[in-house]
Structure formats: C-alpha cells, structure tokens
A and B are shown apart, each in its own frame.
Chain A
Amino acid sequence: MRRFDESPLDPDAETTLAVIDATLGGEAVAPEDAELAELTLILAGQRPVASEPFAAALDERVQRRFARPPRRPRRRLRWRSVLAPGAAAGLVAGLAVVVVLSAGGGGSSSGVQMPTVTSSASALSGGVGRALRAESAPSSTSSAAGSSSATSPSPATSPSASGPSSAGGATAPTPPTGGRQVVQSAQLSLSTRPNRVDDVAQQVFDVVSVQDGVVENSNVTATNSSSGYAQFQLSVPSANLQQTMSALSRLRGASVVSRTDSSQDITGQVGGAGRRLADARALRTALLRKLAAATTTSDIDSLKAQIRDAEASIASDQSTLRSLHRKVDNTQIAVTINAASAPGHPAASGSGFTIGKAGHDAGRVLVIAAGVALIALAVLVPLSLLGAIGLWIAGAVRRRRREQVLDLV
C-alpha cells in the first residue's frame, strides 16, 4: 500500500491510535483502554538509550563536521584534472567541426560569402601543357606570360592583370596565352536581397556598357521573396575580362557566391583553319592560271566550277577563322543573381576588415552557437528524460531490495 492510498482508517484502528497518542501525551484514557495504555507505556519504557560515550564521540565528530582525511578531495581533483581538459577539447573540437561545416555550406544558402574561384584549362595541343609548366607567373595569382598573338591581347598588357578580380579578395588566375589562341569564359553567381535584384541587374547592364560588352540575353525576375532571380549572358572584349569580372564582383548590395573562370586553347583549330584557307587560296590561284591558259570550252567550264568551289571553301575557312578570332577576342560571361533569404551584406563584398564585416561575422557566430545549443538540447532533453526514468526505476528497485530484508528477518 503506497502513499496515494488514502482510504479512511478503520474505526478500531482509529481508536487504537487515539489511545496510544493520549497515553504517550500523558492524558487519561477510558478504563476499557487501560490494557492498551499499559502496553503503550511498557513499549515506550523499553526505548533503547544511546550510551554517553557514544553520544560524546558522535558530538565530537559532528563538531568537526565529519572531517575526513584529505585523500578524497585529492581524488576529486585528479578526476577533474583528467576530465576537464578532455571535456574542453571535445567542446572545442565539436565547435570547430560545426563552424567548418557551417562555413562550407553557408555560401550557397545564406549570406556567408565564400567566393569560389575555379579555373580550368583544356589544352588541345601539347604546347599549352608545356607553357603551363615552363612559364613563370607575372603575378602571385597568374601563371600567364610570354608573347601575345596578333589577334588576342596579352593578359600581361591588360590593365586588369594587377587588379582584384573578386569581391572576396580572391584574384582569378589568368590563363597562360604565350602567343596561343585561348578562348576564355566565366561564370559568376551573385547573391543579393530579394528587393535588390532589380538594382543589381541594372548595375550589370551598366558594367557591360562601360566595358564595351554586349548583353546577349537576359532574364530578370524580381520579387520580394527569395524566388527573385536574374540571369545574363554577356559578351565582353577579352581584354576587358578582368575589369569586367572585378566590377561585377563589386556590385553594390550583392555578394559573390561563386566564380568560375574557364579557358580553352584553340591554337590548333585556328592554325588548321588558316592552313585550309591558305591551301584554298593557292588552289584558286593555280586554277586561275589554268583558266587563263585554257582553250576549250569544256576546260574553261570545268576550271570555273573548280574555282567556284575553291572560293566557297575560302569563304568558309575565312568565316571559321573569323568565328574563332571572335571567340578569342570576346569572352562569354554567364551571370546569375539569386535573391537570398539571408541578405548579402554589402560589407562582405569588400576586402579587408571592417566593423560591418565584424558585426556580420559576430552575428553568424551567434547563430551557429544558437544552432549548436539547439542541437545539444535536442540530444540532451531525451537523454535527460531517459536518465530520469532510469534513476526513478533504479531508486524503486533499490528501495524494494532494501525492504525485502524486512521480510527475511
């Protein structure tokens, strides 16, 4: 029967308790209860009494507050000295993992600005590979050097060679040309607030205009939600590529999410087209000489037909060559602007340490800390509940085991 059993007491039991309490309190009881009262007094009289030496010894221990030898505190200290550094190291490691993970994943989904500059080069001939290995870098971020071709200005002579090329301070590597024909392209992904997509898109148009480029196509969807989106396909002179990328990376209210620079060596294609063109021209010249010497109508007709074919071939090769030169002279840039729910902080697009960036970083740290705390809470609350239930069960079992001895003795 447990504490929650509050059924009324039996009248006989109530009487017994009343007599006992009255007797112990020194009150008189009814004659019919005399026997119970006597039993009560006898039981009370058989109360064991602590001996004076024991009481005095215990008094002394109490006065000394049950002082123990200093062995136990030392053991506690040892445990602390073992556990504290381990716990601290675990905490630091956990925080580091969380910070690294959040930093790595934050670029695409929030305002954390982690520009990704990827440069890829695909050589169509072995010369490029040799150039990559052999040639020295004119700056800390570029390995391009050497002479420039007649149709493509050298990056070394380009004003952009020394300028920063991304908002995050990262400079995109300039592909090595070394007199080779290189087609460059770039992709830039920007992030901005939902209500600034229009503004940033307009800035893209302005930059293209200043850099003598062309917007080949564009698609701007401006909303006040995170679905705002803009997409541009730009064509800018290759000579202005670095300035253009730098300007696009510094747009007000936008921050760089990622940037990709690509280059493709088409020296072989250009050379092949040039050789085909020269061959066709030589053929036409030879045919023209033959035509001048031809006497029969059939020979003349046949030579004229061959000359037409040669001229068609020449036109085709010239067209191909012009197309290749256009590709070399103009760079395609794909720009996307995404409205991020966490607004891109203007300060994040600049370089160097500023109060704004510090405040932004501090805010991120607080958000991460709150996230860590939330995750910890999500883990600890169920564990605590399980622990509490376990403790309760253990306590009940321990109590039951203890009380079992009362049935044995």
Chain B
Amino acid sequence: MDRVGVRSEGVTETETLEEQTASQSTWARFEALYRSSLDDVFAYVATLLGDRSAAEDVTALAFERAYRRRVTFDRRRGDERAWVFGIARNAALDELRRRRRVATLVSDPQDTETASVHDGAEVALRRTAVKAALAGLPAREREIVALKFHAGLRNAEIAAVLGVSETAAGTLLHRTMEKLRKACDASL
C-alpha cells in the first residue's frame, strides 16, 4: 500500500480527500483515511506517550478500532480525521492509565532531521533546549503541541479532539508556546 509519507497539510488535504471519497464505499473511505492519517496519528501518540514501541501498539489499536467502528461514524458530528484522532487519544490515555507512569521519553524518537554537522552549535543547542522544555511540560500541554506541530491538525480539529471550544484550544496553545519560550530562554 502506498502511504502518504509526509505529514498531511491539514484542511486542504482533508477536504480534498472527503470530496474524492464522498461516493466511495465505507472501506475505501477508511483506507483513504488510514493512508492520510497514519503518520500524523503515530506522531501525536508517540509524543504523548514518549514511547515509540507503545505508540506503535496504540496507533495500530486505534486504526483497528476505527475500522471496526467505521459504520458508526457520523459525519455531522465532525470530520473523519478528528474522529480517528479521538479514538487514538482514548487509546493513548488508556495506555497512560495502564502504565501509570510519567510519560518520559523512554526511547527518543528517531529524529530524521537530526542536526547535521553543518548546523551550528547554537542551533543544536536550541533544539536540545526545546526538546527538554517539551519533555518538561505537563501532559495536557504536551498533547496540544503534539496535535498542532506533530499531527498537523487545525485549531478546530484540535478543539474537536479535545472536546473543548476552538477558543479554548487556541488559548491553551498560546499559553503552552509562552511556557516553552520561557523554558527555552531560561535554559539558554
């Protein structure tokens, strides 16, 4: 299966996908949703859990649940992307509850864009500071960073996944970014 190997572009790609799959069968719609969301869901879950292995399990579980429940999806209650992220979120929270431990990065995600030798030391230092600051955030704030920057969701989609208003989601993101900036400035 050819997957969309890059992060989806949010609203544009989702809407196009919906238009294209409006007349397709449930299976075809699910397959398209899977192809467009796999990387984003994994990125979100991995950031939230801080554990690549667990993130893989949870991601697989989330898509299996989505497949089993695909007939219950109601388009009037939101788009499919927010729906599958909601399922992934529940699965991830269940995993966190099961483990009952701080979701520290047990094994750091393989960063494909690790600092090259051409990057300056200041850039590398900055990246390290950001990573540390992110790891130090409470789970709620780390989650919104994952949804925004790693899963590429729009603010409305984030609000739908978290079950809050779009304003609340925007405010939470703003506060989280302020925290991160201060943490980074403090560490540098």
Contact = CB atoms under 8 A, between A and B. Distances in A.
Contacts of A46: 109, 111, 127, 130-131, 134, 149-150
Nearest to B160: A3
Contacts of B63: 58, 62
State the main secondary structure of chain B at its contact with A. helix
Interface string B142-166: 0101001110100100010001111
Contact of B171 (A9, A40, A55, A59): A9
Contacts, number: 160
A403 interface: yes
Nearest to B2: A59
A36 B94 contact: no
B136 interface: no
Interface stretch (A12-20, A121-129, A239-247, A280-288): A12-20
Interface string B29-64: 001001000110011001100001001100110011
A42 B109 contact: no
A4 interface: yes
A399 B93 CA distance: 10
Contacts of A3: 159, 163-165
A394 B110 CA distance: 39
Contacts of B97: 401-402, 405
A7 interface: yes
B59 A50 contact: yes
Given A4-B165, A36-B181, A59-B1, A48 B150 contact: yes
Contacts of B138: 406-407, 409
A118 to B, nearest CB: 61
Interface of A: 1-10, 12-14, 16-17, 20, 24, 35-36, 38-40, 42-51, 54-55, 58-59, 61-63, 65-66, 399, 401-403, 405-409
11 contacts: A10-B174, A16-B177, A16-B178, A35-B181, A43-B180, A47-B43, A48-B150, A49-B43, A50-B39, A62-B63, A405-B100
